[in-house]
Chains A and B, each alone.
Chain A
Amino acid sequence: MNKMKRLPLLVLAALLVMLAAAGCGASNNPGGDADAGGDGSANGGEGGGQTEAGANALEAIKERGKVVVGVKFDTKLFGLKDPGTGEVEGFDVDIAKAIAKKLTGDEANVELKEVTSKTRIPMLNNGEIDMIIATMTITEERKKEVDFSDVYFNAGQSLLVKKGSPIRSIADVTKDTQVLGVKGATSIKNIEDRVEGLRVKQYENYQEAFTALRAGQGEVLTTDNAILYGMAQQDSNYEVVGDIFTDEPYGIAIKKGEAELVQAVNDILSELKSNGEYDAIYEKWIGEKPPAE
């Protein structure tokens, strides 16, 4: 009798244990599955792309009358989604629109898809997007996986100082200059290699480093100029000075083997540069004229 009474309890306990185990499994899954989900939709994209197979990418774009461009949605000045309007805006976005206008006749014929540094190459290579315009530095490593257009933005490490600072370029930075940066950034090593004996004060993120600079806890903040220009626009008491002292040129990435599209994009870029449209976009976002080439 006693045992009979206990049995349901045991079953219940067993069930609970199983449920808990299943629960754990389920709660672990989203993290692990996220990638798989991404792949799934990526494959769908590939399927869509394959219907246009045969024709090259340039013809496919013209036929469909729309360019699908991968841009960042979270990067100030280059591609940032305005939470109020839902619009994605920035330098990269304007370049994308200008290219769409030249290819299809109307800048409205551009579809912006969000990419991150991690997702952009897979998304390009499986046909979800026609090109990447997303603060992407041209490197030898990446050239093995995708083709690049000509440089459309000369990114590189630079310096942000308070207006009126005696520091005008990297040459004015000595080992006693109070330089600020972010923990783990390659820019720290670059500048410490360049200025012997310099010790950069390193913070958790760029917002904190900039706050420290504004609080007078340092003289110079150093990282990519693209980020520094964003800060300079946040607070007009600060300016980016000196030339870039590392080269991280941004290019537009296009799937390998699409020479016609690369050529078309390069032609458009040089046209934009010669007719002043590029300068206008540059000034609109960066706040100053592009450096002379």
Chain B
Amino acid sequence: MINITVLINYWDLYFEGIRNTIAASLLALAGSFALGTLVAVMRIAPVRPLNWAGAAYVEFFRNIPLLLVVYSFYFGLPALGIVPNEFISGTLGLMVYTSAYIAEAIRAGILSVPGGQTEAARSSGLTYTQTMRYVVLPQAIKIVIPPICNQFLNLVKNSSILGVIAGLDLMYFGDLVNAETYDTVSTYAFVAIFYLFLTIPLSFASRALERRLARSG
């Protein structure tokens, strides 16, 4: 049923796709973590307008389809005179979309540290920043790691959105191979296997990380 010749004949396309999927995922991962942390900080900072801006960001990007986010970069930015290529539009879209989820995970983690701890830290003379840095964040990070790892897994899978805008990722080349071979089952079986190659190790790594953090706690 699964025809290995599909893989052999189109290996170069699969390989190029995997490379670009990894690149897009890594870039979006780093970017969304930084952006998500920033937005989370905005949401809990003791400055009202920042709270609002952070909330608006999260609610906006979390509540529209990823496809639409990617379209707005790919088709929308050119209207403003900036023409990002397929790869950049797709990666930016992924980054922005995922960062909204990550911001929520981080915010929830920070809020889950009991308020009494902050009060105790503040009353023993620590500043707001110090309280965050030495008391709240070290505890929050343990709570936050599992949901963030989940988001990264989703991000790798969601990177298939690049295929829709000719982003040269694994899914895009999967579509092209399918169009040439008409062997749909084999073509996409190999695509699935390659995604698993990327996501399963990530899945195991996140579990190992969780265990280690649990011990050190």
Interface on A for B, CB 8 Å cutoff? Answer: 180, 183-184, 201-204, 208, 211-212, 215-217
- B165's partner among A184, A212, A216 (CB-CB below 8 A) is A212
- For B172, the chain A residues whose CB sits under 8 A away are 202
- Per-residue CB contact flags for chain B residues 48-75 toward chain A (1 = under 8 Å, else 0) read 0000000000000000000000000011
With contacts A201-B166, A204-B164, A212-B165 taken as known, whether A183 is within 8 angstroms of B176 at the C-beta atoms is yes
A203 cross-chain contacts in B, Cβ below 8 A: 164-166
Closest to B182 in A: A184
Q: Which residues of B contact A184 (CB under 8 A)?
A: 175, 178-179
Contacts of A215 in B (CB 8 A): 74-75, 78-79, 83
Query: Which chain A residue lies CB-closest to B79?
Result: A215
Beyond A184-B178, A215-B74, 14 additional pairs, beta carbon < 8 A? A180-B166, A183-B176, A184-B175, A184-B179, A202-B166, A202-B172, A202-B175, A211-B75, A212-B74, A215-B78, A216-B83, A217-B74, A217-B85, A217-B86
Which residue on B lies nearest to A202, using beta carbons?
B166
A216 neighbours in B (Cβ, 8 Å): 78, 83
Q: Which residues of B contact A180 (CB under 8 A)?
A: 166
Contacts of B83 in A (CB 8 A): 215-217
Distance A202 CA – B166 CA, assembled complex (angstroms): 6
A-B contact count (CB 8 A): 36
Q: Which one of A202, A203, A211, A217 has the highest number of Cβ atoms from chain B below 10 Å of its Cβ? A: A217
* Residue of B with least CB distance to A204: B164
A203 to B74, CA, bound (A): 13
Chain A residues closer than 8 Å to B75, beta-carbon distance: 211-212, 215, 217
Chain B, residue nearest A211 (CB): B75
In the complex, residue of chain A having the shortest beta-carbon distance to the beta carbon of B77:
A215
> Please, which residues of chain A bring their CB within 8 A of the CB of B175?
183-184, 202
| Nearest CB in chain A to that of B175: its residue | A183
Q: Is the CB of A202 within 8 A of B78?
A: no
* Complex CA distance for A211 and B71, rounded to whole angstroms: 10
Tell me if B176 and A202 are in contact (CB < 8 A): yes
CB A12 to nearest CB in B, in angstroms, measures 41
Shortest Cβ gap from A231 to chain B (Å) = 16
28 contacts between A and B (CB under 8 A): A180-B166, A183-B175, A183-B176, A183-B179, A184-B175, A184-B178, A184-B179, A201-B86, A202-B166, A203-B164, A203-B165, A203-B166, A204-B164, A208-B164, A211-B75, A212-B74, A212-B165, A212-B166, A215-B74, A215-B78, A215-B79, A215-B83, A216-B83, A217-B74, A217-B75, A217-B78, A217-B83, A217-B85
CA–CA, A216 to B77, complex, Å? 10
Write the chain B residue with the least CB distance to A200: B166
Q: How far is the CA of A180 from the CA of B86 in the complex (A)?
A: 12
Taking the closest CB of chain A, its distance from the CB of B187, in whole angstroms, is 12
- On chain B, the residues within 8 Å of A217 by CB distance are 74-75, 78, 83, 85-86
Smallest beta-carbon distance A226→chain B, Å: 21
In the complex, what's the smallest C-beta–C-beta distance from A122 to chain B, in angstroms? Answer: 23
Nearest to B164 among chain A residues (CB) is: A204
Of B85, B166, B178, most buried by chain A (CB within 10 Å of CB) is B166
Interchain CA distance A204-B74 in the complex, whole Å: 15
Residue of chain B at shortest CB distance from A188: B179
By a CB distance below 8 angstroms, the chain B residues around A201 are 86, 166
Once the chains are docked, how many angstroms separate the CA of A255 from the CA of B164?
Answer: 42
A204 and B178 CA atoms in complex are apart in Å by 13
> Which chain B positions have C-beta within 8 A of A202?
166, 172, 175-176
Shortest beta-carbon contacts, A-B, top 6? A184-B179, A201-B166, A215-B78, A215-B75, A216-B78, A183-B175
Q: Which residues of B contact A211 (CB under 8 A)?
A: 75
